[in-house]
Amino acid sequence: MEFNFDIVKNPRIFQENRLPAHSDHEWYLNRENENSVRSDCKYSLNGSFRFHYAENFQSVIRGFEKKDFDVDGWDIITVPGHIQMQGYGVPQYVNIEYPWDGSEEIEPGEIPTKHNPVGQYVKKFTLPDFMKNGPVYISFQGVESGFALWMNGAYVGYSEDSFTPAEFDLTPYIDKDGENRLAIDVFRYTAGSWCEDQDFFRFSGIFREVYLYTVPAVHVWDLKVNANLDDNYKDGVFSLKMDTHGANGSAKLTLYDKNRKHLIFEKTLELSDSENTYRIGGVDQWSAEFPNLYDLEITVFDKLGNISEYIKEKVGFRRFEMKNGVMCINGKRIVFNGVDRHEFSAQKGRAIGNDEIRFDLMTMKQNNINAIRASHYPNQTYFYRLADELGLYIIDETNLETHGVWDHIVKDGLDKSFAVPGDRPEYLDMVLDRANSMYQRDKNHASVLIWSCGNESFGGINVQKIHDFFKNVDNTRLVHYEGVVNDDRYPDSTDMKSGMYWSVKTIEHYLKEHPEKPFISCEYSHAMGNSCGGIREYTDLAKRNRLYQGGFIWDYIDQAIETKDRYGNTYYGYGGDFDDRPNDGSFSGDGICYASDRRPTSKMQEVKAVYSPVDITIDEERVIIRNNNLFKNLSDYICTITSSCEDRILDIRKTAVEADPGKSAVFPLDVKYKKDRECVITVSLSLKNDEKWAERGHEIAFGQKIVGERQQADHSKGEIRVAHGWLNTGVFGSDFSILFSNLYGGLVSYKKAGVELIKKSPRPNFWRPLSENDIGNHMAFRADQWKAASTYLSINDGRRVSNYDVKEDEKTVTVTFTYYLPTTPEIEVRQTYRVFPDGAVKTSVIMNKSDNIGELPSYGVLFTMNADFENLRWYGNGPEDTYADRESGGRLGVWENKVKDNMAEYLRPQESGNHTRVRWAEVTDNQGRGLRFEGDDLNISALPWSPDQIDCADHPNELPPIQSTFIRVDKFQEGIGGDDTWGARPLPQYIIDNSKPLEFSFWFKGI
């Protein structure tokens, strides 16, 4: 048999000679190695391969697969790894559009021919001794997007489907004593690429591990474990089916509880037996809260009674089902507090390692995330094993997305027959094969609760048949598919209804009209840039409507690639930064974690709060803690009650709490605080014991209540002197001086102890830097006049000069400026400064109704200081930034950081660093000199760049050198939004109402 390139573009042929898919269990010849991650029957081929890059199939080097072909002069490439991440071609980020769109005119059933790179790999190796007496197989865990394989010059086979294993039998071709030569052609685009139009960077290459393996004479090729619960959710119902290769034999089964403390059962059976079922009394159930796993050990014997192999598999007993119209885990209604997650690394693309997977899943558990949608393809096996261990609910998704096809059906009115896979018979076997490969590998993982037929691929009979396949082979899980919202001809393609970026009102209305199936948001709260505003609206809906069962934030980590600009500065590139055309720009940056090092962004603070498993309410006399866990008692937590006055802790107590799931613990508020001062009562729940994902004391949730009243500062002590000049007015106190300019229209100097604190005149400000959500909902089109008003306001509009007014009384002097704004219609704003004897200045900004000018992004004052004033300390919400619609995770307290640290590391510079509910804030140099701001529920932002400078930069490395510190003191700032990033505005309650006059006052003072 010879390789024929025509199969690469034929959707009916997606594999040749590939071995059947099977479970991902490990087997061992030596029992001493059974606790190893890697079987002692495997031999890694990871590492260096010889490599040649061809622009297309016509450019490949013919005959390279022959054993005597000299490749010693070829380049060297690393496996696992993407071709484009190692200097060959470029990565390309596109979302909906196919990567070849506009370059070649092709339709489904065709592939690009001009630009369709082929990576030619060669690996030489000698067979390890332990493999020489048995068969030899090769496993490719992930190759994008298709490949042909030769061994010692002989054609072995072909495979597509980038994200599930492809395995072949090398035994007929292997030289067991000499040098062997593996040759592979990897094609960037195949017929299967039409089914891989996911929202991600497009790569190619051998990006997951490659290894050889052998098996003993009697071998369990496939293992199917079913660990269910009985109808009373007490006893385990355990069944086992083994597909064996080789001579007949027997198997001894032993099942131990965790840590091998107790033997649960022991059975011996013949390998020829069909599926065996056992009842086990009183099992410890598996859930995200208690991920109890049992150790299943299988000792396989040949027919003479000799040990052939050992198998060890983790088993979790759980029952997932539709019950009384809702999804339930172990009999309890489940709520998915989830995220969508791509496999991605800024340094390696999708070729990520176990350390990165563990870091992600540990971070999720620490932030109350309980579920992951594997978007939009099967992940590496280690991901599922770790999810079993740590306790995360998984939607496992078939490698299928055809967004670029069905989008034209919806928008351009193309006939539904155009859909892929749709009703096309030529795609049916391909998509069923992808579903089967995922199922067979992942079927034994307790964490996998739902099979997904794919993502954003319209509808049709083929998707229905994927659903039917899952239901026929697995009665322990449900099946999900969102695409029926666009093509409802086959509504039974999904067991639950789901939507993407539906508003809360839309979901509520839908469930009222269609209560037949529960609903999940398989994608919601689009986390692009500074986002995730209003997310609590969704989690609150899950608490009041039983049919809404949570959702999955899009998505977990920014997709960006570490690169350098022309000056050698490192930055993280998105679509277009690699001369990739077409591309979808920064749309790849929609994660709640940074691309650079996987750290959580400030959005995670909100996610942790709204995903909390408890609700904490504090009133004047008592604390109420509602336990929203399904299985965990509150006694598993430490409860700490703290009272504080600004940065001083007044009292701290710990108390035991207890409440079953769904119940509340109520106890007196017996902590001490001062009633004549504003104090904060904080109730915190933290882990009582170490968990695999966090140590004892890790905080799970907190609640706060403000008690007492704030004392107003007395600024009347001392004397002031006023100097009236022709164009300036000076105000002097014992250690300060302030200068107001009539000529330039503002406060032009504030000195404290001889140190100048003001670099530019404070001015009324109505603009914030555009966020990705602002850009997506075209806020600038509605509000552009406010940017001009903030930048070009003046005391002199060419016709009128400001009413510069100075008034004195016994203790204070008040200076008023009138600014004219370059808006249509014209509008005026008055700013007043009232100076007190101690140097405190009360400033007010007064503006008439302005809704006829446009949406008002913010309302406050912009201060400019020298960059030496680089420290921010504030009493308000923290520690991360907060906004009107994203402050559930903000904790009222005293916080401090560097001004530069308030600039979030988003891929595109944008609005960030705001802090809500601020009582006071200090911006100081390293000697403690600076300005203090005071007020009621202020919004404070201190950044090293102005709104204009931030708006002008497409990447952080494009921001200018730091010269100043810019402080925005706002009464209002519009919510950050985030229902989506292509039109959704912040919710109405978080938009500034400028249909009425606005007035804002606060204090500032030199320190």
pLDDT 10s digits, 634-691: 999 999 999 999 999 999 999 999 999 999 999 999 898 888 899 999 999 999 999 9
pLDDT 10s digits, 263-319: 999 999 988 777 788 999 999 999 999 999 999 999 999 999 999 999 999 999 999
Give the Cα separation of 45 and 440 in Å (integer). 24
Give the Cα separation of 884 and 863 in Å (integer). 22
Give the Cα separation of 683 and 665 in Å (integer). 13
User: Is residue 860 within 8 Å of 935, Cβ to Cβ?
Assistant: no
Overall pTM surpassing 0.75 (yes/no): yes
The kind and range of the H/E element at 225 are: strand 219-229
What integer pLDDT is reported at residue 56 of this predicted model? 96
Distances (CA, A) of 713 to 717, 842, 920, 936, 971: 11, 12, 12, 13, 20
**Burial class of 230 by CB neighbour count within 10 A (0 to 12, 13 to 18, 19+):** middle
How do beta strands 143-144 and 205-206 pair? antiparallel
Residue appearing with tokens 């995770």? 889
What integer pLDDT is reported at residue 585 of this predicted model? 96
pLDDT 10s digits, 139-193: 999 999 999 999 999 999 999 999 999 999 999 999 999 999 999 999 999 999 9
The kind and range of the H/E element at 924 are: strand 915-924
Tokens (6 digits) for 132: 């020489």
How high is the mean pLDDT of the chain?
Answer: 96
H helix count then E strand count, the chain: 11, 60
Report the pLDDT averaged over residues 571-596.
Answer: 96
What integer pLDDT is reported at residue 979 of this predicted model? 97
Local confidence band at 258 (pLDDT 50, 70, 90 cut-offs): confident
Indicate whether 801 pLDDT > 90.
Answer: no
How do beta strands 448-452 and 478-480 pair? parallel
- Residue % of the chain over a pLDDT of 70: 99
Cis ω for the linkage preceding 825 (within 30 of 0) = yes
537: which residues sit within 8 A by CB, 6+ positions away? 504, 987
pLDDT 10s digits, 453-480: 999 999 999 999 999 999 999 999 999 9
Report the pLDDT averaged over residues 567-571.
Answer: 96
Indicate whether 259 pLDDT > 80.
Answer: no
Tokens (6 digits) for 705: 């209540």
The kind and range of the H/E element at 512 are: helix 504-513
DSSP one-letter string for 883-896: BTTB-TT-EEEEEE
Local confidence band at 799 (pLDDT 50, 70, 90 cut-offs): confident
Write out the catalytic residue numbers: 456, 523
Report the pLDDT averaged over residues 311-331.
Answer: 97
Give the Cα separation of 279 and 67 in Å (integer). 56
Indicate whether 380 pLDDT > 90.
Answer: yes
What amino acid occupies position 15? Q
Tokens (6 digits) for 745: 């229209």
Question: Which of 547, 1005, 945, 459 lies closest to 751 in space, CA to CA?
Answer: 1005
**Burial class of 828 by CB neighbour count within 10 A (0 to 12, 13 to 18, 19+):** middle
Local confidence band at 712 (pLDDT 50, 70, 90 cut-offs): confident
Beta bridge partners of 814: 807, 834
Beta bridge partners of 561: 573
pLDDT 10s digits, 529-560: 999 999 999 999 999 999 999 999 999 999 99
pLDDT 10s digits, 499-513: 999 999 999 999 999
Q: What is the DSSP letter of 658?
A: -
Backbone angles phi, psi at 466, to 5 degrees: -65, -45
Beta bridge partners of 265: 255
What amino acid occupies position 807? K
User: Is residue 292 within 8 Å of 317, Cβ to Cβ?
Assistant: yes
825: which residues sit within 8 A by CB, 6+ positions away? 852, 853
Pinpoint the alpha helices (H) of 349-460. 354-366, 381-390, 403-412, 428-442
Q: What is the DSSP letter of 986?
A: P
Share in percent of the chain as helix, strand, coil (round to 5): 15, 40, 45
User: Is residue 586 within 8 Å of 908, Cβ to Cβ?
Assistant: yes
Give the Cα separation of 94 and 578 in Å (integer). 12
Beta bridge partners of 831: 817, 845
- For helices 535-544 and 504-513, angle between their N-to-C axes, nearest 10 degrees: 30
How do beta strands 210-213 and 42-44 pair? antiparallel
Q: What is the DSSP letter of 30?
A: S
Q: What is the DSSP letter of 867?
A: T
What integer pLDDT is reported at residue 538 of this predicted model? 98
User: Is residue 245 within 8 Å of 230, Cβ to Cβ?
Assistant: no
Local confidence band at 620 (pLDDT 50, 70, 90 cut-offs): confident
DSSP one-letter string for 686-707: EESS-BTTB-TT-EEEEEEEEE
Indicate whether 800 pLDDT > 90.
Answer: no
DSSP one-letter string for 896-907: EEEGGGGS---S
